[in-house]
Amino acid sequence: MSEKINDEIVHTLNSSKTHEEAVNAIRALVEEVRRKGEQKETILERIQEVRGLVSSEQEDILLEVMDFLVGWCSPHARIE
């Protein structure tokens, strides 16, 4: 996965109008790169890098998406 995803995540966080909009958009982005074969660990590393660059509110969004990716959520919400 290219580092370009970091830029896409930051752009999505900055352009989303609501918490829910940002979560859904970043979730869709993560699902897309998973479908393309990227490993969960690599995606988590990229999100972790972005966490240090954003506000605490935006970090909460990233943590929520990370929970979907590692399975700390309801089974129907998991990103496989």
The tens digit of pLDDT for each residue in 35-57 reads: 999 999 999 999 999 999 999 99
The torsion angle over the Cα atoms of residues 65, 66, 68 and 70, rounded to 10 degrees, is 170
Q: How far apart are CA 5 and CA 42, in angstroms?
A: 11
Residues 76, 50: contact at Cβ < 8 Å? no
Backbone φ, ψ for residue 77 (5° rounding): -95, -5
Backbone φ, ψ for residue 19 (5° rounding): -60, -50
The tens digit of pLDDT for each residue in 28-39 reads: 999 999 999 999
Query: Which pTM was predicted?
Result: 0.88
